[in-house]
């Protein structure tokens, strides 16, 4: 049997031969002593690309989010984030367990407005309210279908945050995709935020690694939290070399993933009576809903598709996610859409 067409996530990519070669040859040292040249190079390069003073390598995006929350809040605080944000849905309650904060989810479809932030921010020093200290934006927003948060909304939300004395955090695990889709440079997207997280293990195709960028003072504080959580590694130049290679060679091909996601979505929508708003297909993620009238639910569809060599994620009872990436080409995406459409219409 041929290898399945795996659209579960852009994390399923395997390092290319070229990436493995630079990993094998990477100069390394002990990063806990600040002596890993490849990690130092990556951190300096990313700080520059993101327009921040400093950057810090972390093993995962989940830890980057946990460390950011820990750095910018105190236990008992409240964090405002978009409905269905990764930090609220996909991190096992880590915001509560590790940072001791609760997340107040607002907005919809990946976006909330400055007015919604204003309404959600609790008045300070009121006897019974938690203190709202941080606002987080996820760009692109995963569960909303990889949508790009419009930059004018980002700017107005962050302006209100500053006015209200809130810190700002950008979960930019897929900020590369937001930049590729909007044509807005990474440093412009990152500029309004105190701390920014990016991931090398999603569309960029590296085997692991995320990074936080911000002021020297915030990154120094984040480093202490990273060490406390056990996230400081040793010769992780092997990972950093993969990330540098991905920046050099895979960043530029993201529009291909976006075009493949759109072709997949259009083909699927043409062939099956699903609910899918094509205007949400802005990057490499397609989230669609199976109407109640159809006999299949998301889990049935994903099980049957797997038997036919196509992997997708059941994201909710009738919600399915498919993600394009560098290990699937146009032909495979169109074939996968055909398989799903045939199952949905039989």
Ligand X SMILES: *Cc1c(COP(=O)(O)O)cnc(C)c1O
Around Cβ 135, how many Cβ atoms within 10 Å? 28
Around Cβ 128, how many Cβ atoms within 10 Å? 5
Nearest partner of 254 among 274, 282, 275, judged by Cα: 282
Q: Does the footprint of ligand X cover residue 62 (CB under 6 A)? A: yes
| Pair 228, 28: CB distance under 8 Å | no
Minimum distance from residue 1 beta carbon to ligand X (Å): 28
Q: How far apart are CA 202 and CA 10, in angstroms?
A: 5
State residue 234 phi and psi, 5-degree precision.
Answer: -110, -95
Minimum distance from residue 91 beta carbon to ligand X (Å): 7
Taking CB under 6 A as the criterion, the residue among 173, 175, 190, 287 binding ligand X is 173
Number of residues that bind ligand X (CB under 6 A): 12
Q: Which 113-152 residues touch ligand X, going by CB under 6 A?
A: 138, 142
Q: Does the footprint of ligand X cover residue 84 (CB under 6 A)? A: no
Sign of the CA dihedral with 142 first, then 145, 150, and 151 last: positive
65 versus 282: smaller Cβ distance to ligand X: 65
Q: Going by DSSP bridges, is the β-strand pair 167-172/132-138 parallel, antiparallel, or unpaired?
A: parallel
Q: Which 204-223 residues touch ligand X, going by CB under 6 A?
A: 210
121 versus 210: smaller Cβ distance to ligand X: 210
| Range in contact with ligand X (rule: CB under 6 A) among 16-24, 38-46, 60-68, 334-342 | 60-68
Q: How far apart are CA 171 and CA 198, in angstroms?
A: 7
Q: Does the footprint of ligand X cover residue 60 (CB under 6 A)? A: yes
Minimum distance from residue 307 beta carbon to ligand X (Å): 27
109 versus 266: smaller Cβ distance to ligand X: 109
| Pair 145, 287: CB distance under 8 Å | yes
36 versus 171: smaller Cβ distance to ligand X: 171
38 versus 85: smaller Cβ distance to ligand X: 85
Q: Tally the C-alpha atoms within 13 A of residue 64's C-alpha that lie toward its C-beta.
A: 29
Q: Nearest residue to ligand X, using CB? A: 61
Minimum distance from residue 69 beta carbon to ligand X (Å): 12
Nearest partner of 279 among 157, 181, 195, 138, judged by Cα: 181
- Please give the angle made by the CA atoms of 195, 250 and 305, to the nearest 5 degrees: 100
Q: Which residues pair with 214 in a beta bridge?
A: 54, 195
Q: Which 294-333 residues touch ligand X, going by CB under 6 A?
A: none
86 versus 335: smaller Cβ distance to ligand X: 86
Q: Does the footprint of ligand X cover residue 68 (CB under 6 A)? A: no
Q: Does the footprint of ligand X cover residue 65 (CB under 6 A)? A: yes
Minimum distance from residue 61 beta carbon to ligand X (Å): 2
Taking CB under 6 A as the criterion, the residue among 70, 83, 86, 318 binding ligand X is 86
What separation in angstroms does the CA of 63 have from each of 78, 219, 222, 227, 264? Answer: 19, 14, 11, 11, 32
Strand segments, DSSP code E, in the chain are: 5-6, 54-58, 78-82, 102-106, 132-138, 167-172, 195-199, 210-214, 285-289, 310-311, 313-316, 319-323
Q: Does the footprint of ligand X cover residue 13 (CB under 6 A)? A: no
Minimum distance from residue 80 beta carbon to ligand X (Å): 16
Binding site for ligand X (CB under 6 A): 60-62, 65, 86, 138, 142, 171, 173, 199, 201, 210
């Amino acid at each position: 049997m041929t290898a399945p067409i795996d659209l579960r996530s852009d994390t399923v990519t395997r390092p290319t031969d070229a990436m493995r070669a630079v990993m094998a040859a990477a100069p390394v040292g002990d990063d806990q002593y600040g002596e890993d040249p490849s990690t130092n190079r990556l951190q300096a390069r990313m700080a520059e690309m993101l327009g921040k003073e400093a950057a810090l390598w972390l093993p995962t995006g989940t830890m980057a989010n946990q460390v950011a929350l820990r750095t910018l809040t105190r236990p008992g605080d409240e964090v405002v984030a978009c409905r269905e944000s990764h930090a609220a849905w996909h991190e096992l309650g880590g915001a509560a367990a590790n940072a001791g904060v609760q997340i107040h989810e607002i907005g919809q479809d990946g976006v909330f407005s400055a007015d919604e932030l204003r309404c959600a921010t609790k008045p300070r020093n009121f006897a019974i309210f938690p203190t709202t200290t941080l606002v987080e934006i996820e760009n692109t927003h995963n569960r909303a279908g990889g949508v790009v948060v419009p930059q004018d909304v980002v700017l107005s939300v962050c302006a209100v945050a500053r006015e209200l004395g809130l810190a700002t955090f950008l979960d930019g695990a897929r900020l590369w995709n937001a930049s590729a889709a909007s044509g807005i440079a990474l440093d412009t997207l990152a500029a309004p935020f105190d701390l920014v997280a990016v991931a090398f293990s999603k569309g960029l195709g590296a085997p692991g690694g995320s990074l936080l960028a911000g002021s020297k003072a915030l990154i120094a504080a984040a480093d202490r939290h990273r060490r406390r959580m056990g996230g400081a590694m040793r010769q992780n130049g092997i990972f950093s070399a993969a990330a540098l290679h991905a920046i050099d060679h895979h960043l530029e091909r993201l529009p291909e993933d976006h075009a493949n996601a759109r072709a997949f979505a259009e083909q699927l929508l043409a062939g099956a009576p699903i609910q899918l708003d094509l205007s949400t297909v802005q990057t490499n993620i397609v989230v669609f809903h199976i109407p109640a009238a159809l006999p299949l639910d998301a889990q049935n569809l994903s099980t049957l598709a797997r038997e036919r060599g196509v992997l997708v994620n059941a994201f909710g009872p009738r919600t399915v996610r498919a993600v394009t990436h560098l290990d699937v080409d146009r032909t495979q995406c169109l074939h996968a859409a055909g398989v799903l459409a045939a199952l949905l219409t039989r």
